Amino acid sequence: MVRLAAGRFTVQAAAADLPLARTVLDSAQAHDSFPGLPRPRDAVAVAIAPDRRRFRAWSGREAPEWGAAVALPGERRIVMQGGWAGSDAGDPVPVLRHELAHLALHETMGDLPPRWFDEGYASYCAREWARDEVLAASIGLVIGGVPALDSLDDGFTGGAVRAGTAYALSYRAVADLAALDTARGLAVFFARWRATGSMDRAVREAYGLTLDGFERTWRRSTMRRYGTLAVFANLTVLFSVIGVALIPLYVSRRRRDRRRLEAMRAAEEASERAARTSALALLLAAVEGGRGGKERAGEGDLPPGGSSP
């Protein structure tokens, strides 16, 4: 293992992940401030796991199977996946930013933030705008609407799909809260929250409305913004699935119609041949009948017992 250090950061990685370790260290130093919070001072250790086994061992049993990285605030440590990870591990720079935001929030606010705010703030700091795409395609919004903020915490342990929706809604809530003060963002809110220990009082004193009032407004606006998109996206998927399911039926119907048409054409051709044959037989019979009549007529002109001169 190789150890790199600069400022308040130390990065540990296998020799094969040395380029990644340098990128992580440079990014951490270059972007070491977080919206609304004082500049962090705690020393932070970043461990880049050389394989899946050690990632699981270093990140702890509570880390989800689908997690790309884990922040351990009590240890002021971050565990990331190394170069062995697939594309589902994400871009390491925003992933690192997300985890560093967890540590920065914990350094200033301690255990005050609930899970939904913690995750939403980390996504907000990492500018994870793609979270909105999850809401725009969420069947959950179509069926159950936008859930209450307190209920989002349960979603982070409900599997990758459910967690993805919880992350997206949490990100949207923190972003909308910060947008209430375009000049100062979350700065006054954090200061009042830390001073009073009450999130409701902090929202009231920073933005002039209650936490319940913000939540009602946020749920309505989120449903208006993404509910229609979700309905459209899911109907599009439904129609696509139906279309794919109908393709074999369509092909079968075309084949059946083609066979039926070929049978009709064959029957029509056979009928025409039979009609032509019948007409020709009638014509031949008529010709033969005419000849026979003439012959019989010629024989009748001779005198009885005589012969022609």
Structure token pair of residue 176: 């909308």
Note whether 175 and 189 are within 8 A (CB): no
pLDDT digits (tens, 9 = 90+) for 282-308: 766 666 666 665 555 555 554 555 444
Using the predicted structure, report yes or no on whether residue 40 has a pLDDT greater than 80: yes
Residues 6+ apart with CB under 8 A from 100: 28, 32, 34, 40, 44, 71, 78, 125
What is the rounded distance in angstroms from the CA atom of residue 232 to the CA atom of residue 238? 10
- CA torsion through residues 96, 97, 103, 106, sign: negative
User: In the prediction, which pLDDT does 67 show?
Assistant: 75
pTM: 0.72
Residue 11 per-residue DSSP state: E
The percent of residues above 70 in pLDDT, for the chain, comes to 73
For the chain, first and last CA: distance in Å?
A: 138
Structure token pair of residue 280: 């020709």
User: In the prediction, which pLDDT does 242 show?
Assistant: 41
User: In the prediction, which pLDDT does 229 show?
Assistant: 44
Average pLDDT score, the chain: 82
- What percentage of the chain's residues is helix, strand, coil (to nearest 5)? 65, 10, 25
